[in-house]
Structure 1
Amino acid sequence: MGYGIYATKGTADLFEAEGLYVHRASKIETEDAKNVLDIIRNGRVNFVINTVSNKKNISADGFLIRRVFAENNISCMTSLDTANALAKV
């Protein structure tokens, strides 16, 4: 479809195993410029898919990601079913 994908390690590994090319993003706690929040703040993404996890620290990361995209007027989906439906359209 022509979109680039940014993903942190676990998601990037999964996508690459399925044959997709992924730009790797660092976790939030890192200080480098490829930190997922900095990538969003720097306008490198137009759309975010961020699903909720049961793990406490990942949920906190998800909250920060959702907050940053909202502050930067970037659309986000939190359900893979909805994202899949959009991709089919």
Structure 2
Amino acid sequence: MGIAKTFPDALYKGIIATGIKLPKKGGAILMTVRDTDKPELIQLAEEFEKLGFELYATGKTANMLNNQGIATNAVKKIGEGEPNLLDLIESGKISLIINTPTKGRKPERDGFKIRRKAVEMSIPCLTSLDTARAVLECIKLGKNEKDLGVLDLSVFNN
């Protein structure tokens, strides 16, 4: 077994070990990221869209993605009236949330409420685009938990 096969399997097993339930292709993803993460989100969003995911994002993020040709539904932030992103999360339509936190630890911020609601609804909530990339790569593998076998780590023993 070569490294090309081993690394994706190891990544997949690592994601599964964290307890993240990988969303099925064709589900819906809510993305709300800090401004500094928006440029990096473009490629991720495009790849999720190609896999058939329906994308939702808050105002500025949705506008940016739509301007890049990535079909994204705009959803209101919590303070912008209803229905808003919490209503969308509660609807059961969302299978994955990508929410990169802004600086500060104020529980009244939207990010805290989003992550809390994700936990309540048992929806995976990723707070890092690196983790979102890893989850995307695992979804691309098209595996499920039944595919987990014994991982050959001998390629790392040099």
* TM bracket (short chain): 0.7 to 0.9
Match of 2:66 among 16, 38, 47: 16
Residue 81 of structure 1: CA displacement? Answer: 0.8
Quote the Cα distance in structure 2 between the aligned partners of 1:16 and 1:55: 29
Query: Which residue in 2 is equivalent to 1:64?
Result: 113
SS in 2 for 1:29: helix
Q: Deviations over 1:23-62 (max 9, x none)?
A: 11011013322x00000011120110000112778x8110
| Count of residues in Structure 1 that have an aligned counterpart in Structure 2 | 87
Quote the Cα distance in structure 2 between the aligned partners of 1:67 and 1:41: 12
> Which protein is bigger by CA-based radius of gyration?
2
Identity over the aligned pairs, expressed in percent?
38
| Structure with greater contact order relative to length (CA < 8 Å, sep ≥ 6) | 2
Q: Structure 1 residues 13 and 80, CA, compared in 2 at 3 Å: closer, same or farther?
A: same
Structure with the higher fraction of residues in helix conformation: 2
- State TM-score, norm by structure 1: 0.87
Structure 1 moving runs of 4+ over 4 Å? none
Match of 2:92 among 38, 43, 50: 43
Query: Which residue in 2 is equivalent to 1:25?
Result: 75
Query: Which residue in 1 is equivalent to 2:122?
Result: 73
The residue identity in structure 2 corresponding to 1:69 is: A
